[in-house]
Amino acid sequence: MKKFLMASAATALMAGGAMADDHAVKLGIILGFTGPIESLTPAMAGGAELAMSEVSESGKLLGGKTVMPVRADSTCIDSGAATAAAERLVTSDGVKGIMGADCSGVTGAILSNVALANGTVMISPSATSPALSAAEDNGLFFRTAPSDARQGQVLADVLMEKGISEVAVTYTNNDYGKGLADSFAAAYAAAGGTVTTTTAHEDGKADYSAEVGALASAGGDALVVAGYVDQGGPGVIRAALDTGAFDTFVLPDGMIGPNLETTFGDEIEGSIGTAPGSDAADASMVVEKVAATGVDASGPYVGESYDAAALIMLAMQAAGSVEPGDYKSKVEMVANAPGEKIYPGELAKGLEILAAGGDIDYVGATAVELIGPGEAAGGYREIEVQGGKLETVKYR
């Protein structure tokens, strides 16, 4: 029996050694491939995988390691399913870092249940709830998307500049919607605007005419829909258009997507929106390459996903180790000044400088600058619906 135990212990050790020697580093990509933002996620995953293949092809990561993406489904809304999927990534697939998750609620759940417990670094490209800034993370959690506290402020500024001083707000009843609605209401009131009413809407209902009835009764110049483009959001807009309650809509990032154009076209002419983006950096190279693989890359967060994956790999290089415990402290170092500026497509150059002991300031596709508790400082595109298309009119 003793021999047998020894033998199994030896085998286990050897298996462990074999794993560590393996040349492929696995990185998890956990996004809502099904669920309310399923039309956005294929391009986001494409962005992250683009960064990984770029690094693999360069052959410069820690002496020629390749990076292998492993996808998992966060469902965006089901914390239980997301936690199970992330658990699988970490314990069974043995990923060394997680690019994700996408929606704020599931991101918080994975962070507290999986990432903290296993000491895995996660960098979310799109979780924007202000509540995540204060979440306990042991320095393991970062995001390349800014907190919605910032988006609320930007939205309020845009509206005041357009002279829209009275709006009704409806939000999808979850962490993302509530956080955004609260931060917007606070910023808007501070800027002198009036929120006539704030009501939640549940996703997945057949009909939103009752909700819109209440919003219409409260009135306002425009309706802020802090929802999801593949879920209740379009239903709310449709009901508002049908009953003539509102014809101008204010659409935060979750509502900006190609489906919006195809569903409504010029029916929502003049509506305004915001989505993360910056003119200090150019995500077009990432977006074009992702689009070339055949997925629709016109949605937001493609560049953020590329950057999130790139940051993990650059931090690994800086630490000289693929273990999350070693490289977690390097993420902010590679993302921020001082150092050589690294733009999208230049990951090989970044890896080289780091290998030589130099310092880099990763700019990437979205001008990444991590502040406070490891989140992006946040530039936004101001979007207007012109001729049935989502057009970027300004950067903020």
Partner 1 sequence: MDFLNALVVLSNFVLIPAVAYGSQLALGALGVTLIYGILRFSNFAHGDTMAFGTMVVVLVTYLFQSWGLSLGPLPTALLALPFGILGCMVLVLVTDRAVYRFYRQQKAKPVILVIVSMGVMFIMNGLVRFIIGPNDQRFADGERFIISVREFKQMTGLSEGLAIRTTQGITVVTAIIVVALLFWFLNKTRTGKSMRAYSDNEDLALLSGINPERVVLYTWLIVAALATVAGTLYGLDKTFKPFTYFQLLLPIFAAAIVGGLGNPLGAIAGGFVIAFSEVTITYAWKKVLKYLLPENLEPSSLVQLLSTDYKFAVSFAILVVVLLFKPTGLFKGKSV
Q: What residue ranges bind partner 1 (CB under 8 A)?
A: 197, 199-200, 202, 204-207, 209-211, 213-214, 216-219, 235, 242-244
Which of residues 93 and 242 has its CB atom nearest to partner 1 in the complex?
242
Alpha-carbon distance of 169 to 249, in angstroms, equals 10
Contacts of 164 (CB under 8 A, 6+ apart): 193, 221, 222, 248, 250
Which of residues 35 and 303 has its CB atom nearest to partner 1 in the complex?
35
| Minimal distance, residue 36 CB to partner 1, in Å | 11
- Name the residue with tokens 């800027």: 191
Neighbours of 3 (CB within 10 A): 7
H/E element, 69: strand 66-73
Residue 92 corresponds to which tokens in the numbers above? 């069974």
Residue 86 corresponds to which tokens in the numbers above? 């992330």
Which of residues 97 and 234 has its CB atom nearest to partner 1 in the complex?
234
Residue 391 corresponds to which tokens in the numbers above? 């057009």
| Minimal distance, residue 256 CB to partner 1, in Å | 20
The SS3 of residue 374 is coil
Contacts of 76 (CB under 8 A, 6+ apart): 32, 35, 36, 37, 38, 102, 103, 106, 228
Which of residues 79 and 259 has its CB atom nearest to partner 1 in the complex?
259
Closest CA to 147 of 393, 384, 375: 375
| Minimal distance, residue 243 CB to partner 1, in Å | 6
| Minimal distance, residue 242 CB to partner 1, in Å | 6
| Minimal distance, residue 47 CB to partner 1, in Å | 25
| Minimal distance, residue 262 CB to partner 1, in Å | 12
**Strand 166-172 relative to strand 222-226, pairing:** parallel
Which of residues 243 and 284 has its CB atom nearest to partner 1 in the complex?
243
Which of residues 134 and 206 has its CB atom nearest to partner 1 in the complex?
206
| Minimal distance, residue 217 CB to partner 1, in Å | 4
- Render the burial of 20-42: b for 16+ CB within 10 Å, e for the rest: eeeeebbbbbbbbbebbbbbbbb
Which of residues 23 and 205 has its CB atom nearest to partner 1 in the complex?
205
